Amino acid sequence: MYKIVDARGRSCPEPVVMTKQAVENYSGETIQVLVDAIVAVENIKRFASNQGFKVNVLENDEDYEILIEK
């Protein structure tokens, strides 16, 4: 089961803020963040890694799926 954060169409720093809220409420389920900008991918990866999470990025056409978990 995923906690989904759809940040497509949002400009930074909003995707990171949305991810931060999901991380703060982390309950053990994988967080799936959807974005459409590589800058957001890099910023979210950096943030989540600094919080001690494992990050996996999948590219789907013009969108990116970021999977965050402990």
Rg of the chain, C-alpha, whole Å: 11
Give the C-alpha separation, 13 to 52, whole Å.
20
Residue 63 near residue 35, CB atoms below 8 Å = yes
Separation of alpha carbons 30 and 62, rounded Å: 22
- Kindly report, residue by residue over 43-53, the tens digit of the pLDDT: 999 999 999 99
Average pLDDT over residues 8-24: 96
- DSSP classification of residue 28: S
- At residue 1, the pLDDT reads 73
Q: From the CB of residue 4, how many other CB atoms can be counted at a distance below 10 Å?
A: 12
Note the CATH number of domain 2-69: 3.30.110.40
Geometric angle at alpha carbon 51, from 47 and 55, rounded to 5°: 65
pLDDT for position 69:
97
Q: Is 12 one of the catalytic residues?
A: yes
pTM of the model: 0.94
The pLDDT of residue 12: 87
Catalytic residue among 3, 8, 12, 43: 12
